[in-house]
Amino acid sequence: MPFPELLIDGYRSFRSGRLAREQDRYRELAERGQKPEIMVVGCCDSRVSPEVIFDARPGELFVVRNVANIVPPYAPDGQAHGVSAALEFAVAALKVKHIVVLGHAHCGGVRAFAEDAEPLSPGDFIGKWMRLMAPAVEKAGPVGALSPAQYLARLEQANVVNSLDNLMTFPRLSKLIERGQVAIHGAYFGVAAGELLIRDERTGEFVPADGTSPFKR
């Protein structure tokens, strides 16, 4: 099969549009290197690209994406850990000032876990990966009177909090956070309305980023 036409067309559009407008910035970034101040941990989901949601320019966001925006706990066990490697690079080399965990509505990974369904695909990896969000179920609390959609939203947000808690298990990072040199934040993107919620550190509630939106789940 040939290289996807969608990508060729997209690249042509990028080259004549954004690249043309930002050529100087790209050259400068190539010469001086990147110095992003913000790292984003997001989901692989094709609807929740952090660069698109935050309208970011090249060089502004250091992004790692995985199924269900999970930060696994610190585990120096000699195995290869992709998220931990990205974190280490962001914190130790780039010296980012903010780490944002970006969850989202209608997350297939969270739903599969919540419904105790078969993993998203038959295979060797997803089931084990999703078990990392087990502590989020505790954080989400009982289903109670919540509708399935409301419970899923609560679980998706608890999963963000679980990733924030796991960030604190990284010794070097937790020291920087305690000293106020790095801040960690939770955020949640509602896909349909395009609404962004940000976790209020004091209350633990996810509230609209612009403070005016009626969006609630």
Binding site for Zn ion (CB under 5 A): 43, 45, 107
Nearest distance from C-beta of residue 43 to Zn ion, angstroms: 3
Residue of 194, 203, 185, 39 whose CA lies nearest to 104: 194
Least CB distance to Zn ion at residue 160 (A): 11
Longest dimension (CA), the chain: 57
* Residue 45 Cβ vs Zn ion, minimum distance, rounded to whole Å: 4
* Percent helix, strand and coil across the chain, each to the nearest 5: 45, 15, 40
Contacts of 178 (CB under 8 A, 6+ apart): none
* Count of CB atoms situated within 10 Å of the CB of 164: 20
Phi, psi of 41 (to 5 degrees): -105, 110
| Four-CA torsion 96, 75, 171, 173, nearest 10 degrees | 10
Name the DSSP class of 186. E
Closer to Zn ion by Cβ: residue 107 or 155: 107
Is the Cβ of residue 83 or residue 182 nearer to Zn ion in the bound state?
83
What minimum distance in Å lies between the beta carbon of 68 and Zn ion?
Answer: 5
Nearer to Zn ion, 90 or 107 (CB): 107
Between 26 and 129, whose beta carbon lies closer to Zn ion?
129
Residue 23 Cβ vs Zn ion, minimum distance, rounded to whole Å: 34
In degrees rounded to 5, what are phi and psi of residue 108?
-60, -35
Among residues 111 and 185, whose Cβ is nearest to Zn ion? 111
Q: At 168, which amino acid appears?
A: M
| Smallest distance from Zn ion to CB 182, Å | 25
Taking the least distance from each CB to Zn ion, the nearer of 84 and 159 is 159
**DSSP code string of 49-112:** -HHHHTTPPTTSEEEEEETT---PPP--SSS--HHHHHHHIIIIII--SEEEEEEETT-HHHHH
